[in-house]
Structure 1
Amino acid sequence: MTTITTTRPTTSDTRRQSHVVADAVTMLRRNLLHIVRYPGLTVFVIGAPVVFLLLFVYVFGGTLGAGLPGVDLAGGRAAYVAYVMPGILAMTIAGTAGGAATTVAMDMTEGITARFRTMAISRAAVLAGHVLGNTIQALIGVVVVLGVGLLVGFRPSAGPTDWLAALGMIVLIAFAISWLAVAMGMQAKSVENASNLPTPLLLLPFLGSGFVPTDSMPGWMQWFADYQPFTPFIETIRGLLLGTPLDWNPALAIGWCVVIAVAGYAWSMAIYERKSVR
């Protein structure tokens, strides 16, 4: 007779898990206070996408919008507001990476992270606090930029379910980008270097479907635009908010988020562990 045994979590395992969660909450609180005390980073994260939104809508919107399929010259600007808004939201999320990397690099260069390594604090929780704080900052930025978009004529057709799905997608993208940003901040040799490392992320919405359809690009660039992560990010948000075809974009977007988050986590933890044994 075969006896089937099950393994139950021990009391020590439960305490360890609760300890990690408590440490992560403490680190999150610390990073939220840092955001409040240093509002300049948040202002830049929100201000830059707003400037780009106003620039592209009011300066280039009439011409670029008229080039969209099925849009005449007279309705170009209104059509372009709808088209460009998902790309601006993606840019807002990408823009938070610079702030996160800078904050992490400041902790590294000022010895704060080294002090945490000598304390009875979960190593994953130290990094998770940065990630969760940056994710919240990204959501605040998205809400503000979306509000400006509504003021300049953005009119999404999404229902409640679509809005919830779009919110979930935005949170997932912000969470993944935050892990990558934390790893970049830990890898950087200085605070100045940390602020520059995430810059390519800001370019990806431009080199995707954020501002113009990818089929208007040269062949070699179109291939890159179609397969880089920000294009499915943008097309998923666009489809949920405006009802455009989703196709395989949600699956690709989720897949890219998993890859980016896992890579960022592994990279940052490897650096943390390496510097802990020095």
Structure 2
Amino acid sequence: MTNVNAPERLDESVSAISEFPEPTEVYPEKSWQALATHSVVQTHRLLLREFHDPFTVLQAIIYPALMLVMFWAVLGISVTRATGINSVYGYVPMISLVGAMFGSIASGMGLKEEWRKGLLARFWILPMHRAAGITSRLLAESVRILITTVLLVGVGFMLGFRFTQGMLAGLGMLLVPLLMGVGFATLVTALAVSSAKLPLVELLSLVCTLLMFFNSGFVPTMAYPTWLQGFVQNQPMSTAIDAMRGLSLGGPVAEPLIKTAMWSIGAVVVFGWPAIKGYRKAAGNPI
């Protein structure tokens, strides 16, 4: 016997499954509540994408960890004997910053890919807060940098790194790469959306490599030529490394930390508006 009501019930079931639930909390598109909610959703999406992308994981975690072990094995003993200070207290901060920067470059490439595929344009026409796109990227970068720093410190502990100034100072040390990383991520975002043909990886990789070999974590500042010591001592990686070394091993903290904050805030001020303007342009004009 055929049930004549079966097709109607099937239609009702399909309709119930396909319908979106009614929203219980609707915030105005330009409200702070919408910014917070939409930024969290987008941050979650970006983190899932990054940690499922082999290139990003390689650039942000695996490559820095291998580099830390390599520097310690090849140069660490010689630097320790020459200076009397365990070189791991310079290499762990240095590689943590390198991981933050190279991870931001990989994220910048992801942003360009979303621009090319038209995903930015799709998000732009949705009823979401306009600032959520930029805000979520900085939040995702902050979470990634903290995770990378913790993992690299874990590798450093296997090589002899310790928090000799106490756990509170150690926790402060973990936040220094975050301070510098926000400024660098703003720079990367501005460059990523400035031009579709800009060689982002080649340009920033060259800059990061130069900074990596001319800082106070690679070898002590006094080991560089006299005419180069001023640059080495005050470039952003060196100030952050000196602050991290002071918080872990001991030494000056306030001055290098203030310099690092100035570098980071300066990068946000200089590149913040170009990043926002470029993001709007990229979202409205797919490649």
TM-score by length of 1: 0.84
Matches within 5 A, 1:241-252: 241-246=248-253, 248-252=255-259
Matches within 5 A, 1:130-149: 130-149=137-156
**Pairwise CA distance, 1:230:** 1.3
- CA deviations on 1:231-278 (whole Å, 9 max, x unpaired) are 111111111111122251111111111112233322211212345666
**Pairwise CA distance, 1:211:** 0.7
**Pairwise CA distance, 1:163:** 1.9
CA contact (8 A) 1:98 1:197 kept: no
Aligned mates of 1:151, 1:164 — CA distance in 2: 18
What is the identity, as a one-letter code, of the residue corresponding to 1:198? L
- Of 69, 77, 92, which residue of structure 2 is paired with 1:54? 69
- Of 78, 86, 95, which residue of structure 2 is paired with 1:63? 78
- Of 223, 226, 234, which residue of structure 2 is paired with 1:216? 223
Matches within 5 A, 1:180-195: 180-190=187-197, 193-195=199-201
Aligned mates of 1:123, 1:14 — CA distance in 2: 8
1:126 lines up with 2:133 in the alignment: yes
What is the identity, as a one-letter code, of the residue corresponding to 2:215? G
Aligned mates of 2:281, 2:56 — CA distance in 1: 29
**1:198 aligns to what SS in structure 2?**
helix
Q: Which blocks of at least 5 consecutive residues in structure 2 are unaligned?
A: 1-26
- Of 187, 195, 204, which residue of structure 2 is paired with 1:198? 204
**2:160 aligns to what SS in structure 1?**
coil
Aligned mates of 2:210, 2:101 — CA distance in 1: 9
Map of 2:112 onto structure 1: 105
CA contact (8 A) 1:184 1:197 kept: no
CA contact (8 A) 1:229 1:256 kept: yes
CA contact (8 A) 2:29 2:127 kept: no
Aligned mates of 2:250, 2:228 — CA distance in 1: 26
> Which of structures 1 and 2 has the bigger CA Rg?
2
- Of 159, 176, 195, which residue of structure 2 is paired with 1:152? 159
Aligned residues: 258
**Pairwise CA distance, 1:67:** 1.8
Aligned mates of 1:115, 1:188 — CA distance in 2: 19
Aligned mates of 2:218, 2:283 — CA distance in 1: 43
Cα distance 1:36–1:251, how it changes in 2: closer, same or farther (>3 A)?
closer
CA contact (8 A) 1:95 1:202 kept: no
Q: Which blocks of at least 5 consecutive residues in structure 1 are unaligned?
A: 1-11
What is the identity, as a one-letter code, of the residue corresponding to 1:99? A
Which sits farther off after the overlay, 113-122 or 252-261? 113-122
Taking every aligned residue pair, what percent have the same amino acid on both sides? 24
- Of 177, 180, 186, which residue of structure 2 is paired with 1:179? 186
Aligned mates of 1:264, 1:123 — CA distance in 2: 18
- Of 30, 39, 44, which residue of structure 1 is paired with 2:45? 30
Aligned mates of 2:284, 2:48 — CA distance in 1: 30
- Of 198, 214, 237, which residue of structure 2 is paired with 1:230? 237
**1:197 aligns to what SS in structure 2?**
helix
Aligned mates of 2:129, 2:210 — CA distance in 1: 35
Aligned mates of 2:228, 2:210 — CA distance in 1: 13
CA contact (8 A) 1:131 1:182 kept: no
Aligned mates of 2:51, 2:170 — CA distance in 1: 28
